[in-house]
Structure 1
Amino acid sequence: MSVAAAIDWPMLSGHVTDQGQATCVNVVSQEALLADLEGRLVRKQGFSIATLNLDHVVKLRSLPAFAEAYKAHTHVTADGNPIVWLLRLAGQRVALVPGSELVVPVATLAARQEVPVGFFGSDDGSLAAAEAALKDKVPGLEVAARIAPPMGFDPVGPQADALIAELQASGARVVFLALGAPKQEILAARIQSAFPEIGVLSIGAGLDFLAGSQTRAPVLVQKLAMEWVWRLLQNPGRLWRRYLACITILPGLAASAMRLRYRQER
């Protein structure tokens, strides 16, 4: 079953992989997503949000566990301009919805519904700073858990079982996961399966941005869709291989998108 089939409100879906099972983006805008999430909080119904970018597409091809975790998510957003452009090329219009930009709006929903939140990932110092920053932006927010897993954390190991149980016992009903792909998506799927009433968002560096331990690209750079260049310049040794792999798959993805559009228009 595709991700789109699991949602109970109208949305567009786009297929952006050209090998094996397609991955669906089923969030058309941040506004539509937030409306659905608030309804789920009211109904005490959980959710899991993945944010698709080109690096994820590369990993989806080579990591079966990552692909299985993605299929279990209730929501998938377009986190990256190339994904938005590919979907438009395929005839599907969706808005850019980065995971890092969901932290404050979703925390605001949680505070309005008096739902405690939890942080999972990064390190103790960054989590404490992120909590202070988020509470400053969202008055009334309750943070029930701050869990910083150790280096080498295995999202499917016994340590993960213990930390998931700790998270559930804390009473947190919305959890921000900041582990990076594929760990955060695999863990999100496990939390969703074990405790369906909990909502989980995979946000990458979102908490570090709040804490100030990482700096996001200037707004102008973001608007020019050049944030990836900013990141590459900040850490070329770690990121050049990742971005090369992303650039390499673009022609095939574009061809796949055009074929999909052609089939839809026939």
Structure 2
Amino acid sequence: MSTHGGVMLDDRAVATMMIDAVRVDMCTESAVLECIRRQLNHVGGRMLAVGSANLDHLHHFTARSADRPGYVVGDGDVDWLLLADGVPIVRRARKLTGVRWPRLTGADLLVPILAVVEQQGATVGFLGGQAPMHEVLEHEIAVRFPGLSGVRCWAPARAEIDDPTRAAALATLVREAGIDLLVVGLGKPRQELWIDRHGVNCGASVALAFGASADFLAGAASRAPKPMQSFGLEWLYRLATEPRRMANRYLVQGPPAWWTARGARVMDDPSMGRVLS
């Protein structure tokens, strides 16, 4: 085992890729689940935040430009594990390392992570989304994970998240609820920024910046068919089903972010006999 930015991971299942100032952790699903399991058993330490690196993430968190502030996360009291979600990022990592790294999306990881939470007897909360979706989500979790009791959900308005005082108050509510793992679905970059700024005060051991994963679990949103996902065409499905919302992300912001991803460099690569330290 080794410590990766404060996160304990299996050396055999990890490589680090830098894209501009964004650190992407190439690893396996089993390594992520084991990391979360250990974190839930380690009360009182630094929070572990798990996020997804895709082209939308690169748009918000790489070099500054006239239309975006170039947000930075990971310099505070939260340990980040940023997983390769975007197909262009996964393909770049495979080319650079010669290792067939898996694509790890929040939507795919949420169910096995909830199974870990249930096994550990921990509590879970959801921050983000709409109240009607939460009702369906709570029912779905009760059916699939009967050992998960006391699931809590919060549906803050965007104005609450953008206001520092009200955003901090949300962290207090989460702490008072005694949540061990918090799923934050506020969209990028709000979810990452909220976790980085307020996560340490919410009392949870683990936070997941997983976007619409809860909506998918509740059936409030649909994912692309498996064949489209396997060919890296999930973006096309989302563009076709939500054109007004997704056109700017994929057609305007996406191409520059794709070019940024091509400048990725590997920092730690198991295939080269190096481990993280």
Q: Same fold (TM over 0.5)?
A: yes
Show the 5 A alignment for 1:162-181: 162-181=169-188
> Hey, what's the Cα distance between the residues in 1 that align with 2:75 and 2:192?
7
More moved, 93-102 vs 112-121: 93-102
Q: TM-score, normalised by structure 2?
A: 0.83
1:180-227 deviation line (CA, Å, top 9, x unaligned) = 011111111234322565210011111111222111111222122211
Matched to 2:190, the amino acid is: K
CA contact 2:19–2:265 (8 Å) conserved in 1: no
Q: TM-score, normalised by structure 1?
A: 0.86
Point out where structure 2 has 5 or more consecutive residues left out of the alignment: 273-277
Q: Kindly tell me: are residues 107 and 191 of structure 1, through their superposed partners in 2, closer, same or farther at Cα, counting changes over 3 Å?
A: farther
> Hey, what's the Cα distance between the residues in 1 that align with 2:32 and 2:75?
17
Corresponding pairs, count: 256
Matched to 1:77, the amino acid is: L
Matched to 1:30, the amino acid is: E
Name 1:47's counterpart in structure 2.
48
> Hey, what's the Cα distance between the residues in 1 that align with 2:238 and 2:52?
18
Q: Where is the strand percentage greater, Structure 1 or Structure 2?
A: 2
Point out where structure 1 has 5 or more consecutive residues left out of the alignment: none
Which of these residues, 183, 196, 203, is aligned with residue 190 of structure 2? 183
1:227-249 deviation line (CA, Å, top 9, x unaligned) = 11000001122212211221233
Q: Does 1:87 find its partner at 2:93? A: yes
Matched to 2:152, the amino acid is: A
> Hey, what's the Cα distance between the residues in 2 that align with 1:190 and 1:249?
25
User: Of the two structures, which has the highest relative contact order with CA contacts closer than 8 Å and spacing of 6 or more?
Assistant: 2
What secondary structure, in the 3-state scheme, does the structure 1 residue paired with 2:156 have?
coil
1:109-161 deviation line (CA, Å, top 9, x unaligned) = 11111101101101111111111112222221123421110243325511111
Q: Where is the helix percentage greater, Structure 1 or Structure 2?
A: 1
Name 2:7's counterpart in structure 1.
7
More moved, 53-62 vs 91-100: 91-100
Q: Kindly tell me: are residues 76 and 260 of structure 1, through their superposed partners in 2, closer, same or farther at Cα, counting changes over 3 Å?
A: closer
> Hey, what's the Cα distance between the residues in 1 that align with 2:226 and 2:154?
30
Q: Kindly tell me: are residues 258 and 148 of structure 1, through their superposed partners in 2, closer, same or farther at Cα, counting changes over 3 Å?
A: closer
Deviation, 1:92, is: 6.6
Deviation, 1:252, is: 4.4
Name 2:255's counterpart in structure 1.
247
Q: Kindly tell me: are residues 75 and 258 of structure 1, through their superposed partners in 2, closer, same or farther at Cα, counting changes over 3 Å?
A: closer
> Hey, what's the Cα distance between the residues in 2 that align with 1:75 and 1:257?
17
What secondary structure, in the 3-state scheme, does the structure 2 residue paired with 1:247 have?
helix
Which of these residues, 196, 199, 206, is aligned with residue 192 of structure 1? 199
Name 2:82's counterpart in structure 1.
76
- Alignment RMSD, CA only? 2.6
Show the 5 A alignment for 1:1-266: 4-9=4-9, 10=11, 11-17=14-20, 22-44=21-43, 45=45, 46-61=47-62, 62=64, 63-64=68-69, 66-69=71-74, 72-91=78-97, 93=99, 94-155=101-162, 157-195=164-202, 197-244=204-251, 245-254=253-262, 256-257=263-264
What secondary structure, in the 3-state scheme, does the structure 1 residue paired with 2:112 have?
helix
